[in-house]
Amino acid sequence: MTCSSLVLAQPSSDAQTLAETLNALPQACITSTTHRLSEQSIQQLQILYQTVNYVPMWQDAAQRQQLLELINDTQYDGLKPQMYQLQHLAALQQPASEQQHICDELLVSHGYLQVLTHLRDGVLDSQQVEPYWLEAAAMQAPITSIIEVAAVGLNNLPQVFADVRPQHSAYQKLREILKSSYLLAQADWGEVAVQGKSLRVGMLDPRVPDLRQRLQLAGYIKDSPENALTPVENVTGDIVAVDSLLYTDELSAAVKAFQQDHYLEDDGIVGPATLREMNISPEQRMLQVRANLERLRWLDQLLEPTMLVVDIAGARLLYFRDGDIVWRTRTQVGTVKRQTPLLKSRITHLTINPTWTVPPTILREDKLPAIRRDLGYLARSNMSVLDYQGNVLDPSSINWHAPSGIMLRQGPGPSNALGLVAIRFANPFSVYLHDTPSQHLFGRATRTVSSGCVRVEEAQKLVDQLLFDASEQELERIALIKASGKTRNVNLPKPIPVLLAYWTVEVDIDNRLRFRSDSYGHDQKIIRALQAVQR
């Protein structure tokens, strides 16, 4: 069976022959196709052409041009248009044998299916590159087959491309800003040397010209000759121009704006963290944007209209109700060594006035050294020593240099590591959201300070949001439990989905492109995987 008979004939009753023909497709086409289609791709083409009764789909020149423009537009989705059989789309406009013409038709259809799949589901398998732990009860209904979407979309190509993209604003805004972003235009902006003291206003430093150029190229100060010299009044009252090596108030203001866009301490001081972010090239930033667009396509499958989202890289929490953000706050998340895990689950209950059983890693690495220095640390911290059956032990009877069969438990109260409330959801990592006595840490720009759990600023306000549907009687009961100081679990009126997610690029309310440090190194895994398949 030739490619021609595959498309123009009625559906074959010989499925094996059909599969063999499609499997041999790249060899049958005298083109630049360099790899065999996967078995899944062949099956998708079989089903797609069965769906449209084997009628050729790309005979109309206007429709081919529309498809070409839509595929090229996916560069703003972080995709590589050349992946989607553009050479075969162009070939359909040229004279060719019937077999070659039909082969080009089929490969264009393959590109069409592939680009729709990548726009909706991502280029990569998320669970292979950036896996999330997913609670079975938190999973959503299966999505529509991409073949069904593609078949219907033939009647309105612009609409199907728009529909398969993630609809949430984070993705849409990031995609739109790429159309005018300096990231697509800049070749490079050089580096600012990292050697030397942190720059403060009034200092003279040979790195200042490079710093000024870097800020100009990124649009933080106007590119004008006057910026190279700073007029000041000398001791005699004359206006003079000082050396361009001076770190001025103007440069400091531009640095502060840069720091705000990169989630750094906006103090105007050019230190190691600021220099590290400044020296990331436009090419690297573009790779970071592509990685985050891919990540946002994955996350779109996990989002629900009403849910709680922990933004790990941004150390913040967003509470959505019916698709709108109704409350947000700052958080403290896991350190690089003790990372907050990626997961989706459901918040089922609260622990009011919680106790805290010290996890083994924290016991070994943090608590034992403190106890060995001073046994009184236990009493000051309101901690008891227990065996694995829950029996209280005498601390002085323990060999703290080689303890075994023990655990530490901190009693409830304002000084408890979990504060006055813990917010619980199923997961295999023993993590949860909770209050904290370490309120001062919320003032930091970088808040990767916990041991993996998520500390929530104004945690009681989050509890109020979670209890939005609770009755007055239930709210009064919870208030009494809180006042009693006793430890009690309280079920939510209904479970609420919770997503602990990670992304490092976003567009803020002022339409500014903002970057976070990839503190956990997750971006690089996605970048490497995308580069491997988008060559």
How do residues 474-486 score in pLDDT, each as one tens digit? 999 999 999 999 9
At 231 the pLDDT is: 55
Query: Has residue 235 got a pLDDT over 50?
Result: no
Question: Which secondary structure element, helix H or strand E, spans residue 198, and what is its range?
Answer: none
Contact 481, 352 (CB under 8 A): yes
DSSP state of 445: S
Q: Does residue 465 carry a pLDDT above 70?
A: yes
Half-sphere exposure of 139 (CA within 13 A, CB side): 9
**pLDDT tens per residue, range 17-45:** 444 555 555 555 544 444 577 888 888 99
pLDDT value, residue 219? 84
What is the spatial distance between Cα 437 and Cα 443, in angstroms, rounded to a whole number?
13
How much is the pLDDT for 98?
A: 73
Mean pLDDT, residues 298-326: 95
pLDDT value at position 6?
44
Confidence of residue 237 (pLDDT cuts 50, 70, 90): low
- How far is residue 359 CA from its own chain's centroid? 28
> 385 is written with which tokens?
């020593």
62/54: higher pLDDT = 62
Q: Average per-residue pLDDT in the chain?
A: 88
Whole-angstrom Cα distance, residue 22 to residue 30? 15
Output the CA–CA distances (angstroms, integers) from residue 464 to 305, 423, 456, in the order listed: 18, 12, 13
Long-range residue pairs from 51-54, CB within 8 A, at least 24 positions apart, any chain? 51/147, 51/148, 51/151, 52/151, 52/154, 53/11, 54/6, 54/7, 54/8, 54/9, 54/10, 54/11
Question: Is 472's pLDDT higher than 50?
Answer: yes
**pLDDT confidence tier of residue 99, bands split at 50, 70 and 90:** confident
| Per-residue tokens: 272 | 């190691």
Q: What is the pLDDT of residue 369?
A: 94
Yes or no: say if 208 and 246 are a contact pair by the CB < 8 Å rule.
Answer: yes
Bridge-based pairing of strands 324-334 and 448-450 is parallel
Residue among 520, 466, 521 nearest 496 (CA) = 466
Distance from the first to the final alpha carbon of the chain: 33
Amino acid at 131: P
Q: Is 453 a catalytic residue?
A: yes
- Collect all residues with Cβ–Cβ distance below 8 Å to 192 and sequence separation of at least 6: 207, 210, 211, 214, 270, 275, 278, 279
**Measuring CA to CA, how many Å separate 395 from each of 375, 398, 408?**
8, 6, 10
pLDDT in tens, 407-461: 999 999 888 999 999 999 999 999 999 999 999 999 998 899 999 999 999 999 9
Q: What is the pLDDT of residues 131-143, one digit of tens each?
A: 999 999 888 878 8
Instruction: State the pLDDT at residue 511.
Output: 86
* Helical (H) or strand (E) element with 83: none
Helices (H) and strands (E) in the chain, counts: 21, 18
88 is catalytic: no
Sequence-distant (≥ 6) Cβ neighbours of residue 527 within 8 angstroms? 287, 288, 290, 291
* Chain centroid to CA 297: 10
Place of tokens 């640390």: 377
Q: Mean of the pLDDT values across residues 285-305? A: 95
CB neighbour burial string for 140-167, b if at least 16 within 10 angstroms, e if fewer: eeeeeebbebbbebbeebeebbeebbbe
Which residue, among 80, 39, 74, has the nearest Cα to 164 in the 3D structure?
74
pLDDT digit string, tens, across residues 353-371: 999 999 888 999 999 999 9
d(C-alpha 118, C-alpha 73), whole Å: 13
pLDDT in tens, 485-520: 999 999 999 999 999 999 999 998 888 889 999 999
88, 101, 434, 522: the catalytic one is: 434
Angstrom CA distances, 68 to 41, 154, 501, stand at 21, 14, 34
Please state the rounded mean pLDDT for residues 255-268.
92
Provide CB contacts within 8 A for 138, sequence distance 6+: 344, 345, 346, 497
Find out whether 281 and 512 touch, Cβ atoms under 8 Å.
no
Residues 149 and 160: their CA atoms lie apart, in Å, by 7
What integer is the mean pLDDT of 224-230?
49
- Burial of residue 121 (number of CB atoms within 10 Å: 0-12, 13-18, 19+): middle
Alpha helices in 52-156 (DSSP H): 61-72, 86-91, 98-121, 126-129, 146-153
As a whole-number percent, the residues of the chain with pLDDT over 70 amount to: 88
What span, in angstroms and rounded, lies between the C-alpha atoms of 416 and 403? Answer: 23
pLDDT value for 35: 55
User: Of 101, 262, 453, 522, which residue is the catalytic one?
Assistant: 453
Return the residue matching tokens 């050479």: 87
C-alpha 123/C-alpha 86 separation (Å) is 17
Q: Is 365 left (phi over 0), alpha (psi -120 to 50) or beta?
A: alpha
Give the side-chain half-sphere CA count within 13 A for 364. 6
Helices 98-121 and 61-72 meet at what angle, rounded to 10?
40
